Amino acid sequence: MRGSRPHQVVSAACTSPGRRSLAETASPRMTAQFGAARSYITHMRPQDILLPTAAGLCCKPGAFHIDPVRPVERAVITHGHSDHARAGHGAVLATQETLDMMRLRYGENFAGSTQAIRYGEEIRLGDVTVKFHPAGHVLGSAQVAVTAKDTCVVASGDYKDAPDPTCTPFELVPCDVFITEATFGLPVFRHGDASDEVKKLLASVALFPERAHLVGAYSLGKAQRVIALLRAAGYDAPIYLHGAMETITHYYQSRGIELGELRPAKGVKKAALAGTITLAPPSATSDLWTRRFPDPVTAFASGWMRVRARARQRGVELPLVISDHADWDGLTATIAATGAGEIWVTHGQEDALVHWCQSKGLKARPLDLVGYGDEEESETPIQGEAEA
């Protein structure tokens, strides 16, 4: 656990069980605005619990938004990716890791107050209870289960059911309504075993020992997972990092994730980078920065690499199909296993997944939420580390 948080407004979160801070600040507003409506909550429809709004998924009876894309008074954040975790909210409830990552990206004043919650912990917010469960997406990522009366809605944020040595595995949460992402919601997206992709990378390094290998990977989550996979495959040479990778990667290490010896790529002589592997944000692998590497092989670790046209579009030479999102099989298996009778589908290929749910007799609809993209295409550099 990290020490100093001088600007923390919700100091109560540090001493007493967290459930009070956000709940207490929420209550007066709740009573004023929604008190009169309480009587009918006995017949809670899912859309009375969570409703898509311009700011994001809104929980009126709990007076908060989940992963809001605009500043709101109370935000519940599923994970640290910049399209889900934005700065400028009043109070933020998230896992400790997510809060730490937001602080690293946006600075100490990223929110009016913060409150950390653990996996499995349940707190009451207004007329609902909120419980966090691991989403298996990146370190600290969570699914948020919102329960009112006896109706449970799970907002899963981004998730994957594939193994990942850098974060807590996905937990299946039985529920009535499951809100799922659809980033890879087409049956052509089947990601296979990530360790096989890392073998491909290592085979290329062996074949081209005089060239540098640049692996484009999103700096939060993907990069650390690729490094961990390389270590698991027995690669024990130092791995080099683009400057924009350093802060978050060191944070992962500080949370006890073993990544072996890492070195900054900056300042290393060109010749010394032959035969090495460097992790860089995807955008850096196509700019001038690559000139410091000897005849680089450009790899890109992403679920999009499954489709050749996408890989070609990016000028990738070594596509690595490694995704932090569930693939088609993962999405459909998870949806079925939750036991939910109703599925809300958001960000991605909604049509195909909605169609699949309906063909299985499940009620399903697309949620028109805006502002969630593919993190790989909306990467905001970690503050204070523009160039590297």
Q: Give the interface with another protein as residue ranges (CB under 8 A).
A: 186-190, 192, 200, 204, 207-208, 295, 306-309, 311-312, 315-319, 349, 351-352, 355-356, 359
Of another protein, Zn ion, none, which one sits near residue 37, judging by CB under 5 to 8 A according to partner kind? none
Of another protein, Zn ion, none, which one sits near residue 186, judging by CB under 5 to 8 A according to partner kind? another protein
19 binds Zn ion (CB under 5 A): no
181 binds Zn ion (CB under 5 A): no
| CA pair distance 285, 46, nearest whole angstrom | 44
158 binds Zn ion (CB under 5 A): yes
| CA pair distance 87, 318, nearest whole angstrom | 35
Q: Which helix (H) or strand (E) holds 92?
A: strand 89-94
Residue pointed to by tokens 């690559």: 290
CB of 207 to Zn ion, least distance (A): 33
Tokens representing 323?
């995704």
> Phi and psi (nearest 5°) for 78?
-80, -40
CB of 357 to another protein, least distance (A): 12
Contact window for Zn ion (CB under 5 A) among 15-23, 155-163, 311-319, 348-356: 155-163
CB of 186 to another protein, least distance (A): 5
**Residue ranges of E strands in the chain:** 51-53, 56-59, 64-66, 74-76, 89-94, 111-116, 122-125, 128-134, 142-148, 151-155, 177-182, 213-216, 239-241, 262-264, 277-280, 297-301, 318-320, 342-348, 363-366
81 binds Zn ion (CB under 5 A): yes
DSSP 3-state of 297: strand
DSSP 8-state class, residue 382: P
CB of 343 to another protein, least distance (A): 16
Of another protein, Zn ion, none, which one sits near residue 377, judging by CB under 5 to 8 A according to partner kind? none
CB of 233 to another protein, least distance (A): 17
Length of the chain: 388
Question: Which alpha helices (DSSP H) does 35-90 contain, by range?
Answer: 46-49
CB 293 within 8 A of CB 279: no
Of another protein, Zn ion, none, which one sits near residue 312, judging by CB under 5 to 8 A according to partner kind? another protein
**CB closer to another protein, 36 vs 207:** 207
Residue span 350-379 as binding mask against Zn ion, x where in contact by CB under 5 A, dash where not: -------------------------x----
Residues contributing to the site for Zn ion (CB under 5 A):
81, 158, 375
